[in-house]
Structure 1
Amino acid sequence: MLENLSFAQRQRLAYIDFSLLFKGSIYRNDLVQRFAVGLSAGTRDFNVYKELAPNNLYYDSQEKRYFQAETFTPIFQHDPKRTLIKLANDISDGFDAIGDTRFPVEAPSSLNVPDIFIVARIVQATLNGKAVLVRYTSLTSGENERELVPHSIVDNGLRWHVRAFDRKSQSFRDFVLTRIHEVRILDDADTFEEAEADHEWQRMIPLQLVPHPHNVKHKAAIEMDYGMVSGLLTIEVRAAMAGYLLRRWNVDCTEDGTLEGHEYQLWLRNRVSLVNTSNLAVAPGYAVAEV
């Protein structure tokens, strides 16, 4: 039946499917405003969706919106990698699910991408201020259950993780999405578990990046690569993300720029900005200099 529908209607149905999967609910007016269609057309789209997947949603007359049913199974294939990129850029049109135009631009390959249904549950919990019970496999303690209150999904350049309050350790931590096996949405989060209480996440720190003092022969090339002004690029990053970003960009974080190798083309000039910042074990040269 999907094949007999127009491209425009398939896009609207993909949006319904996407919203149910990642948000857990959708108002009819969401569809109307997103695609600038009339109420009657929006109603027809929901009716068509219900014909295709009657067990995917139910209507709550009090809240006047459709909710994801427990028996929900998406009728479109939402590509995990492309969907994560869209979520990271606040794009929720489901357009990738219906074969939109492919441009001749390639992104770096990934060794693995998270399960799209795990991501959907985490996103639902985050949007609705809920805690989740997950089965998580860590490098130190193996598989166990954790109660988390997620507030952000992050691409650290190598893999995706969720930033969340961990009720076991009573602290905000990062959890790799591919290590999560199951997700069950629980109760509402308390104030001290929400993103506003995550000081490492809320605190912004400046990073002053310059061409590496020893590994770069023609510094002008690096200045052009990064749009430096007078040989300096200053960026503001979240303290919780600093270590990941410094590793991703191969920034030498030693005091005097002593790391050798062509991969180290940048040096962190204001190393002092990292004081009282966690997650720096992965920052090139920083942990070594502390020993």
Structure 2
Amino acid sequence: MFDTLSFAQKQRLAYIDFCLLFKGSIYRQDLINRFEIGLSAGSRDFALYKELAPANLSYDTIERRYCQTAEFKPLFEHDARRTLTKLANDISDGFDAIGDVHFPVEAPSSLNVPDIFIVARLVQAILNNKAVSIIYTSLSSGSAARELVPHAIVDNGLRWHVRAFDRKSNSFRDFVLTRISKVTLKSAPGQHEQAAADTEWQRLIPLQLVPHPKNVKHPTAIEMDYGMENSQLLIEVRAAMAGYLLRRWNVDCTERGTLSGAEYQLWLQNRFTLRNVDNLAIAPGYKD
């Protein structure tokens, strides 16, 4: 039947599929607003989707929305790498599953691409304010069950991780997505487990980056690379993300800019701003 459908119809079906997978539900009005179609056209799309995948959705007469079923299997194949990038940029469409425009632009590969169904469950938990039970394999203790309250999925430049409250350690931590092998939705979390209580996530710190004083012969080139003004780049980052950014950009975090090597083209001039920031073991040259 797919061969007889127009591209616009496939887009709408992919959007329904995407919302069911990542949000767990979709209102008919969501489809109508997204594609600016009439009520009857929206009803026909849901009827067609149900004809193609009858076990994928059920209608909640109280909430007046379509919900994902326990037997749900995506009607389309959603590419994990593209979907994560779109989610990170708040582009929720699912169009890549039907041959979305592919531009000849490539980015460095991550270590591994997370399981799309693991990502979907975590996104559902975040959007619906739920805790999750997971199986997590750590470097220190191997595989074990944990309960998390996730609030953000983050690309640290090398791999994807989820920022969450960990009920085992009673603290907010980062968990690598590719090390999660199972996710089950749980009940709603308490106030102390939600994003508002994650002080390292909520706190913004200023980073003053300048061309490296010893390793860069022509600092103007670095100023152009980073769009610096007055020979410096001043940016604000979440305290929880500072270490990742400094590592990704190979920023020399020593007190006097003493790291040598062509990879260190930037120096953190206001090093004092990192005081009381966790997760700085990966920041090049930083010592408390």
Q: TM-score range by the shorter chain?
A: over 0.9
Aligned pairs for 1:140-289 (under 5 A) are: 140-286=140-286, 289=287
Q: Is the 8 A contact 2:206 2:237 kept in 1?
A: yes
- Letter of the 1:85 counterpart: T
Distance, in Å, in 2 between the alignment partners of 1:105 and 1:228 is: 25
Q: Deviations over 1:65-117 (max 9, x none)?
A: 00000000001010000000000011111111110111111121223110000
Aligned partner of residue 20 in structure 1, secondary structure: helix
Percent identity over the alignment is: 73
Question: Which residue matches 1:42?
Answer: 42
- Equivalenced residue count is 288
Distance, in Å, in 1 between the alignment partners of 2:61 and 2:52 is: 21
Q: Runs (4+) of structure 1 moved beyond 6 Å? A: none
Q: Is the 8 A contact 2:53 2:75 kept in 1?
A: yes
Question: Which residue matches 1:89?
Answer: 89
Distance, in Å, in 1 between the alignment partners of 2:140 and 2:238 is: 26
* Superposed displacement of residue 262, structure 1: 0.2
Aligned pairs for 1:88-107 (under 5 A) are: 88-107=88-107
Q: Deviations over 1:176-196 (max 9, x none)?
A: 000000000000011110000
Distance, in Å, in 2 between the alignment partners of 1:80 and 1:3 is: 24
Distance, in Å, in 1 between the alignment partners of 2:57 and 2:212 is: 56
* Superposed displacement of residue 230, structure 1: 1.2
Distance, in Å, in 1 between the alignment partners of 2:176 and 2:3 is: 37
Aligned partner of residue 169 in structure 1, secondary structure: coil
- Letter of the 2:243 counterpart: G
Q: CA RMSD in A?
A: 0.6
Distance, in Å, in 1 between the alignment partners of 2:132 and 2:168 is: 13
* Superposed displacement of residue 235, structure 1: 0.2
Q: Is the 8 A contact 2:138 2:179 kept in 1?
A: yes
- Letter of the 2:21 counterpart: L
Aligned pairs for 1:124-139 (under 5 A) are: 124-139=124-139
Distance, in Å, in 1 between the alignment partners of 2:275 and 2:109 is: 34
Q: Is the 8 A contact 2:110 2:157 kept in 1?
A: no
Distance, in Å, in 2 between the alignment partners of 1:271 and 1:63 is: 52
Aligned partner of residue 131 in structure 2, secondary structure: strand
Distance, in Å, in 2 between the alignment partners of 1:142 and 1:226 is: 40
Distance, in Å, in 2 between the alignment partners of 1:139 and 1:111 is: 16
Q: Which runs of 5+ in 1 are unaligned?
A: none
Report the TM-score when normalising by structure 1.
Answer: 0.98
Distance, in Å, in 2 between the alignment partners of 1:111 and 1:228 is: 30
Distance, in Å, in 2 between the alignment partners of 1:110 and 1:278 is: 24
Q: Deviations over 1:141-162 (max 9, x none)?
A: 1100100000000000000000
Distance, in Å, in 2 between the alignment partners of 1:83 and 1:246 is: 26
Report the TM-score when normalising by structure 2.
Answer: 0.99
Aligned pairs for 1:5-16 (under 5 A) are: 5-16=5-16
* Superposed displacement of residue 121, structure 1: 0.1
Distance, in Å, in 1 between the alignment partners of 2:156 and 2:105 is: 21
